[in-house]
Structure 1
């Protein structure tokens, strides 16, 4: 009989009351945390990092892209360095953001830019325990002159001395932050495709995963869908419930364990873009939604019931009734 993956020992993950307690319990000043990207980010956990380390300029954060609510990383003053592939805005269209007009001078943080492919290849190398990844994605001669010394190497091709091979050092954060659909109390975390680089990132972390989920459910519920467990309990150090933990991004749930999904909050995303056009309004947005919020529960409460209701993922349309394909039955005989 197939069952969900279990921890190799009786040790269960630390069950926190929310993202803020989880971050305070495990993360320390100067750590490298990675925000795993599926179709969304662990935004509740990122907000907790901003609150816990505001003003320290100490943290290293890696994530596929810095946009929308992730601008809190810049506004909090918590971050020293970001490793990413994009910095700016994506909604209503890709564009620069004034928060990063001095990025070349290292303000509001240092940035190390990678292509999405090479970024993921580095996570894969770390997850697989490889010393390097090989790539054809980078223009190595150029990138070696733009802050990637020590992370990118040109070496002779072993079979053709006239050619070179580009090697990437693995990307190994201390903790990976992940938001999933649900989990059991043992720490088996369920998510639905597309998974992006989320599963690779979970195995790339040197310490393990700090996970938030929409709901913690009974062990039997997860045991009934082992194929949906993306992160097994053995990788999860700490776990908490965080309804709407990916907001303002969407979260697909597939209706697993009765957990409802939700849509992207485009009104909220528009407010962020508008606020970030001016330093004062940007600071006011940060204070209202991140810095001045004590917990994720308070954040959800501030959204309000009416707004939350508009984000409920619509039910799929009813499937049409199948049309008969076989021969018509013979007419019945009357007696």
Structure 2
């Protein structure tokens, strides 16, 4: 087992994201792995199945770059700022080509990941009662409860080839910590064949051990750690920087125009060498508007037996 899992993002994507792979890009509201998505675009991956709760702008960008053939997702929206028009063109008009879509609720996605993580054949849930989604998605089925409670909806396991997440910090061993809103990152990681984590900061193992309850993924579940500060922009990383709401508002007009979105991908992703160059193009003035002030949550004592 490797003791140091820190590698450049370029190398991690080259190794773990292959053409035709099923890739989960998770992060709920914040900690969305935009930098990793951009690196997938730079490396010209094609034929991907992207799995994501709330596809968000990153999925629009991957589609415009020609990386994606299929989408497994829930709640199709650009955060709270508007629609995702590249997805809409593909679904509504098959422009420039059809997009295969499996739509679920947020909880349905979570249950698919959880079934994959636990290696279960399916996962039961009651929240589809009265919903139209079972009519739209043949993967949502019903079974007789073995305990005599009637029919219950079930969803199959979702097992990505690779799950990519962003977090506030990790150590070189691969122990990953995050705080703030969490979604299905842990379940999506345990369901996957490989796990890549981009982080704001790589810290010493002693830092991780000093606050173990924040460890969302232990080392044995992680294949690669990539130091990518500000790697969640334009989403946010709790305690590090705020959401770039202006970017989200700007995206509506960019996404509506088929040529403009492709021009954006070319100028901001394909013509930048890496995430550092992308950040330099954004400029310090923009980042000043995203700075946050410290808001410590207090401290706890884990205690130790006296020697």
Paired residues in the alignment total 295
Aligned equivalents of 2:61, 2:69: Cα separation in 1: 13
Q: Which residue matches 2:305?
A: none
| 1:104 positional shift | 4.3
| 1:86 positional shift | 2.5
Aligned equivalents of 1:99, 1:39: Cα separation in 2: 19
Gaps of 5+ in 2: 299-307
Q: Which residue matches 1:232?
A: 218
**Is the Cα contact below 8 Å between 1:37 and 1:196 reproduced in 2?**
yes
Q: Larger Rg: 1 or 2? A: 1
Consecutive aligned runs of 4 or more in structure 1 exceeding 6 Å deviation: none
Q: Which residue matches 2:89?
A: 101
Does residue 232 of structure 2 align to residue 246 of structure 1? yes
| 1:229 positional shift | 1.0
Q: Secondary structure of the equivalent of 2:232?
A: coil
Distance change in 2, residues 1:311/1:297 (3 Å): same
| 1:108 positional shift | 5.3
Gaps of 5+ in 1: 1-9, 254-260, 320-335
**Is the Cα contact below 8 Å between 1:74 and 1:108 reproduced in 2?**
no
Q: Which residue matches 1:29?
A: 19
Q: Which residue matches 1:154?
A: 142
Q: Which residue matches 1:50?
A: 41
Cα deviations across residues 1-37 of structure 1 (Å, max 9, x unaligned)? xxxxxxxxx42354222x2221012221111110112
Quote the RMSD (CA, aligned, Å). 2.5
Q: Which residue matches 2:303?
A: none
| Residue correspondence of structure 1 range 189-228 to structure 2 within 5 A | 189-205=176-192, 207-228=193-214
| 1:275 positional shift | 1.1
TM-score (norm 1): 0.80
Among residues 10, 13, 20, which one is paired with 1:20 in the alignment?
10
| 1:49 positional shift | 1.6
Aligned equivalents of 2:80, 2:285: Cα separation in 1: 23
Cα deviations across residues 185-221 of structure 1 (Å, max 9, x unaligned)? 101111003211111112111x231010011112222
**Is the Cα contact below 8 Å between 1:43 and 1:70 reproduced in 2?**
no
Does residue 278 of structure 2 align to residue 299 of structure 1? yes
| Residue correspondence of structure 1 range 53-132 to structure 2 within 5 A | 53-54=44-45, 56=46, 58-92=47-81, 94-95=82-83, 97=85, 99-104=87-92, 107=97, 109-132=99-122
**Is the Cα contact below 8 Å between 2:37 and 2:58 reproduced in 1?**
no
**Is the Cα contact below 8 Å between 2:5 and 2:172 reproduced in 1?**
no
Aligned equivalents of 2:98, 2:42: Cα separation in 1: 16
Aligned equivalents of 1:105, 1:145: Cα separation in 2: 21
TM-score (norm 2): 0.87
